[in-house]
Amino acid sequence: MTETGGPTVRRRTLGTALTELREGAGLQQKDAAAALSCSTSKVSRIEQGKGLIKPMELRTLLDLYGVTEEHTRAGLLDLARRAAETGWWEQAEYESIMPAGLGVYVGLESDARTVRAWELGWVNGLLQHEDYAAAILAGGRPVSPDTARRLLEVRGRRQNRLLAEDDPLELWAIMDESVLMRPIGDSSVMANQIKHLQIMAERPNVTVQILPRTKGMNPGLRGSFTILEFAPNESPIVYVESPAGNTFLERDHQVRNFRNDYHHLTAGAMDPQETMDRLREAAKEYGSS
């Protein structure tokens, strides 16, 4: 069993703890910023888990917040040290080419135990065949061949978690039936993608469902979303991607609403066996047996 939580979750855990300690002391972010001689935006980034904090800065805040218990201080300092570790997605060769917000998502996905995803437009990224992913990149905003190569490497490294022998990521992916009917690339690309879906759906840690286009109005029509679930003591996070930007939702009522939507999508979709039958039909439509 791998250690619970990677650097992204650790940073968010530390940020939440510091927010609670500050609020418990009756202080505002501007008070913390004054103690650190920094901007309020830096304090905000630290509390959101988007920025790092140095040990000396952390000790200053703990003094300000009246945290004197040595065990608590030592635990938070150790958490800060481990939160400063660098994930593979933060390496310069990848960080420099990923769209804004994607690095945070990849870090959270790397830490997640379970991913529940709804896709309206195309095959979920964790299940994309390399040719299909390349066709998506080719049809999007122009990128250099080197950038495209590295983006495909990022996708491949994300997918490796599904194939891990020790504690693999659990994925439950529901996709709209239109995904199978929308040609991305040529027929051979689609045939390879459908075959890849069939292979991945056979894995014990992967569940694939197709929502029939005949279902009409459903909560998934509002757009794609992903629910990331971590260890039992860590709160789930909802990720929503849109042309206007990426959003991470963590409040209990927000997560509950998306979980309810996902429950309705699960109930309305073809069961896994029906989905496999539909994938076989789709393979024939693209000339594959």
* Among 64, 85, 106, residue at a domain's last position: 85
The structural domain count of the chain equals 2
Residue range 86-93: average pLDDT?
A: 85
pLDDT band at residue 261 under the 50/70/90 scheme: very high
Q: What is the pLDDT of residue 289?
A: 64
Domain assignment present for residue 51? The answer is: yes
| Phi and psi torsions of 249, nearest 5° | -115, 130
According to DSSP, residue 168 is labeled P
CATH code of 47's domain:
1.10.260.40
Q: Which pair of tokens denotes residue 133? A: 């992913």
CA dihedral (44, 113, 225, 132) positive or negative: positive
With respect to residue 1, please indicate whether it lies within any of the assigned structural domains: no
How do residues 157-212 score in pLDDT, each as one tens digit? 999 999 998 889 999 999 999 999 999 999 999 999 999 999 999 999 999 999 99
In a domain, 2, yes or no: no
Higher pLDDT, 1 or 131: 131
Q: Are 167 and 2 in contact (CB under 8 A)?
A: yes
What integer pLDDT is reported at residue 273 of this predicted model? Answer: 95
pTM: 0.80
Residues 95 and 170 in one domain: yes
Q: Which is nearest to 118 in space by CA: 287, 283, 282, 260?
A: 260
- The pLDDT confidence band at residue 95, using thresholds 50, 70 and 90, is confident
Report the Cα 133 to chain-centroid distance in Å.
17
The per-residue pLDDT for 1 is: 31
Mark whether 155 and 248 lie in a shared domain: yes
Q: Which of 69, 85, 101 is the last residue of a domain?
A: 85
Task: Check if the beta carbon of residue 237 is closer than 8 Å to that of residue 228.
Answer: yes
**Domain, as residue range, for 12:** 7-85
Domain boundary among 85, 106, 131: 85
Question: Strands across the sheet with 245-249, in order?
Answer: 206-211, 170-176, 114-119, 225-229, 237-242, 245-249
CATH of the domain at 97: 3.30.870
Give me the chain's average pLDDT, please.
Answer: 92
Burial class from Cβ neighbours inside 10 Å (0-12, 13-18, 19+) for residue 80 reads: buried
DSSP assignment of 191-227: HHHHHHHHHHHTSTTEEEEEE-GGG-S-GGGG--EEE
